Structure 1
Amino acid sequence: MKNKIKKSFAAILALAMLLSLAACGGKDKGSDGDGSDKTETIVLGKYTAVFKGYTLTKDDEGNDAMVLTYDYTNGSKDEQSFAWAFLFEATQAGEELGSPMYDENNNQITKNYEEKVKKGQTLEVAIALTLVNTTDDVIIVFSDFDDHEYTQTVKLSGSGVQDSGPEEAGSYQLYEMTFEGDVFDHDFLETSGFELYTMELAADGTGWLQIDGRGSLTWGDGKITIDGSDAVYTYTYKDGMIVLEESTGESMTFQKTGAAGTSGGLKPVGGDGSDANLTAYQQYWNGDWYGWTAYSNGTNDYSSLDGFYMDCMARIEIDENGEGALILWDEATSVDDPRAGVTVCISDGGFEQGRLKSEDGWFSDGDVGNADWLVDPDGLGYENLICIEGSYKDPDDFFSGYDYTIYLRPWGLDWADIEADQPDGLPDHYDWYLSAIQTGAKMPDVIGGDYGGLAPGEVPDSQMEPQGGNDPNASAVDGTWQAPVYGDYGLSKASATGVVPMTRDELVDRIGFYADSQIGSAPYDSLYNSMGYIHGKPLIDDPRWDTGKIHVYQWSIESGEYATLVFEVTDYSIGIEKLQSVETSPGLLDG
C-alpha cells in the first residue's frame, strides 16, 4: 500500500525533487493594517486553538507577565480540557518560563484552562507566563500525548496583537491524502510507516515542499506553483488545514505544525542561497562526521574491552524542526549494518548551535533512551568537536556491559589542534583521513577504503562482494560488484582514461573479436578483462548516455586511435551490460 501511494503522486514527486533552495518572489496576501486581523491557528490531533492575542501585566510577585488568549475547540468525541489537549513549555531568551495564576492585585489571570469542553464546542481560554523581559520573543511549544507538536513564536510588539502574516503562512506536515477515490487518513499514514511530507509557506509568498527532496515554491491567491515547472496547484485553507489539489482530482491535506518562519525556534542562517533554508542547528549538526570510539569499564564478558578503541563514522540529519537521526558505524560494522541508530532532537541548551539529545534507539544491541545522550557542540573545549558518552548493558545480562566515549569532528576538518595538544587523541586511521580530505573527497562508506576516483553513488571496492550470476562471461568488474550498481559513470569510474598499454595490432585483435562475434552478448566485464583490467573512459557527454539504460565507453592507445563501445544495461541490480555496437577511429578495423 505504501508503494502504491507513493506511485500515485509520481508527478508531485518529480516536481518536489527539484532540489532548488532558491527563494522566488511572491505576492504578499497580508493586509496593510497593523495586524489586528491576523490570527494563528494551532492544531494538535483533533483539538484546535486559535490565538487571539495577549496583554502585558505583572504577576503576584511583581514580575513582568503576559496573558495569552485562545479560542479552544474540542474536535474529539470525549470531553477534554485545553490543559489536557495542549501541554506546553515556554521559553524566552533561553530561559524556561513559569505560569502564574494571579496578577499583582491577586486577580486570577488564567481562564478556563482546566475547564472540560464537549465535542464540537469552543471556549475562550487564557494562560499566563512570567517573562524574563518585555522585548525578546516568547517561544511556546505545544504538544500532546500522541507526540504531535506545534511551535508558536509570540513577538512582544507592545500592541498585544500577534502579526503572523497571512493565515496560511506556516510549517505543515502531511495529514491525509486521496488516490483514485480512496482516502488514506492520518491514522493509516502514521501506522503504515508512510513518510509524512512537510511543507513551509513563508509570509512573503515563497516556501518549499519536501517530498524525497526539497522543491521551492511560490504561493498566494489559492494557488501553489512549484518553481522550475509549469505545474500549478489549487489549495484551500481552513482551521490550520490546507488541501493541495491536482487537476486530476487527487489531493493531499497538510496540517499546520508551526507558525511561518519559526521552525521550532531555530535560527535561520545563510545568505548566498546555498544554505538559505537551513537553520543554525542544521548548519552545525547536519552532515558526515569522522572520529573514534573508546571503550572502558567493561564488566564480565566485556572486561577485555577496557582500553580498546576503533575509528568510526557518523551521519547526522536534522530537519528544520530540530528533529532527526544519527547513524554510526565503525571498522567492525558498516553503513548498512551500523553500530548505532538513534533518533535525536536539538534543544537550545544555552548554545547557539543547540544541544543534541537522544530520544530512542540502540548502540550495538543495547537501548539508547531519552536523554541518555546529551551532546554539547564544541565539546572538550575544541571547536567543531563533539563527544558522545554512553553506557551499554547486555540485554541478556544486566551486570555485563561497558562504557563508551565517541569523539567526532565533521568530515573535511583536520585535527591539528588536537594533534598539538594530545597526539594520542587522533583517530587510528588519521593519515588515511588526512590524505582523503586533502583531495577534497567526500566521506566514503568504509574506513580506510577507496576515496579517489569513485563516481557519485559508487561505493569503495573494499566494500564490494563477489558477483554471482550464471553468465560465464560475467566476470565481475575489478573482481567485485557493487550495490548500488551504478553511479554517474556506469560500471566505470570518474577517473578512468581508457588508455591501454597495447600495440595497434593488439587493439585491433581484441576489438575486432567483439565487433565480429560478440554484439548483443558480451558484458562490460568481458571487455574490461580483455583490455588488461582497465576501465573504459565513460563518455557521459555522449547524447546516447542514459544512466541505468545506455552507457558509452572508449578505450584508446598511445597513438590516439580508439574504439568506442555502446552497452545496454540488461540487469541494473547486479550490473550486467551487454555490448550493442562498436565504433572506431577511421581505418582501425579496415584491414
Structure 2
Amino acid sequence: MKKIVSLALALVLVLSLTACGGKDGGKSADPNLGKYIGTEFSSDGDSWYSLADLYDGECYIELKSDGKGVFCLGGEATDIKWSLESDGALTLKRDGLESNGLLQDGCIMLDDLWGNEVYTLYEKEDADSSPEKTGDTLLDWWNGDWYGWWKMTGCSGYYEDMEGDWWDICGNIDIGADKTGVVRLWDEDYSRDSLMAKVNVTLSSAGTGEHGTMTSEDGQFTDIAIEHADWIVDPGLADRDDLICIDGYYENGDDEFYYEIYLRPWGTYWDDADEDSRPKSYDDWYLPLIKAGKSMPDAIGADAPASSGDTKSTAPSGNSNAPSGTGLVSEEAVQKGYVWMNEVNNNIFDSTYEDLVDYFGVEGEFVKEEYSDHMKRNQRYYKWVSKDDPSHYVYVNFAEEEPGVYKVSAFNTSGFSGKEAIEKYLDTVKAEAAEVNKAATANTKMKDFSVTVTQFAHDDVAVKITTKIPESGWSYDEGKKCLVENDDPTAFGAGAIRFEVRANVEDFDYYKDSFENYQDIDDRVIGGITFKGRTYKRIGYDWIEYVAQIDDGRALSIGLTDIDCVPGTMPDVILSGMTIK
C-alpha cells in the first residue's frame, strides 16, 4: 500500500493542475479524437493497480483537434499538446515536459508520465471492440474470438513422444442467423490465415445450460476429417463460466491421440483458474495485449507489447544452408500472392518452397531456421517483400515433412490488410490462375476413371460415371463420393467434384432454405443430359452444383466445392468428358 500511495503522490506532484473541463470548439472526422478514461497504472509494467481505487475525481486524456488536449488526474487537469505518428506512437507535451506512448485499438498506453517511469492505461470512452451484437442472446455469446489451450493424451505412433504436451490456441466462431456457421482454430504453429482446424457447425438452444449446444457437421482437424457429431460442445458442462471444451479423437493409421481444447472469449481474465489451468502465454503475451485493449492478433506471439517478454528471434540462423534471395517484388505482386495462397490455390499446403519461388519469380528473403519441438520437424521462414514499402510482406513458414523437401505449413500478412487485398484482387488472381490451369491442362496426361455412386441406404439406386482425370494430381474419396484436386483425397482445403444420387431432383433442395447467395446459372449438358446449374454458399463452402433427373427413379447432383469451372481448365475438361449410365 505504501508503494501505491507514494506512486499516487508522485503522479500529483509532477503536474501543474487546473480545474478539469474545457470544450472543443469544433468537430473533426479524426477517429482518434475524444476522451480516454484512465483505468490502471503500474510502476514496473507487471503489477497493475486501479486508478479508480485511488482517485474520486476523473482521470482521463482528451484529444482535441489541432493537436490540443487535456490531461486530467483525480479531478485536476492541465492543457497539453499532442502528436500522433502513422505507427500509433503518441507524444504528449506540457510546459517543456514530454510523455510518450502508443495509441491503438481505442486505447492509450503511456510508457512514462512527464519523465517518470510510470505506465498508465486509458480506454476510449464508449469504445466497444467486442463483436457486433445481433440481438440474439445465443449467437452473441458464441460469436467472436476465443483464446485458450489444448493438450494431447493417449498418444501413439508418430505422436507417442507428445504425451501430455499442451499449447496455446486461438480461434474464431462465426454462426449465422440460421444457426449454421464455422469454427476456425490455430495454435502456435498456425495462424488465422493458415488454420489448424476449420469445422462447419450447427447451434441448438438445447443443452444443460443457457448457451445451448454446438455440434460439428463436417470439416478438418489438422490432416483428418471431422464428421457430424464428432464435436458436441455444451458449455453447461464446464466447471467455469465463459468456458467451452472441444474434445475429440485423432486417428490416422497407427498415429493416434485424444485431444482436449479449452477456450474462453478473448479479453476474459482467467483469475478463477490455477496457474496450471491457464494458457502458457497467458502472462507474457495475452495479459499485456488485453490490458492494452488490443484485439486478438492473427498469430500467437504476434503484436506483443514491448513489455510482454516476447523474445522470439527473427534473425537468420548463422549455420543454415537454406536458399535465400532478396524476396523483393512489387506491392501488387505481394498482395496478389497472398490472395493466390489464401483463396485460389486449394493445394497451398502441398506447395513447396520452389513452387512459391516459381510463382513470385524470385527467391524469398530467408528469415530463420529452427526445429519445432511441437511438430518434431525442421522449419524455415521466408518473406516476399514489397519494393515500394518494406513493411508490407507475406511471411511464410515451410516445414520439412520429407528430407530436403519444405512445404508451406503457415503464412500470414504484415503491413497490409489481407481482407482488402482479397476484395481488390480476387477476380484478377482467379482469372490468372485459370489461364495457367488451361495451359497446364492442354499438356496433361490423362487416365480413365470410373465410379458407381449409389443412393444412401438404397444400393439399387445407382449411377455409373466415367470420365478421364489426370494421371497425377487428382484422387477419389470413396467415403465422400468425390474427386479431389489432390493426390491425397483427405487433403485439407482441396477443391472437389462431389457426386450424389437420389430418387428425385427435388430431394436435392432439402436444405435450400439455408443456401446463401443463391443464384441460378446456365444449364450444362453433361454426358448428353441437360443439368440445371446453380451457385450458393452452404456451411462455409462455395458451391457450383448441377442437378438432373436421369430417369424415373434416379437423380444426380454434381457439385463443385471451392473450385471454379472455367472453360478449358481441368474441372471443365473432367465434366465435359463424362458419360452417365
TM-score, normalising length from structure 1?
A: 0.31
Higher strand share: 2
TM-score, normalising length from structure 2?
A: 0.32
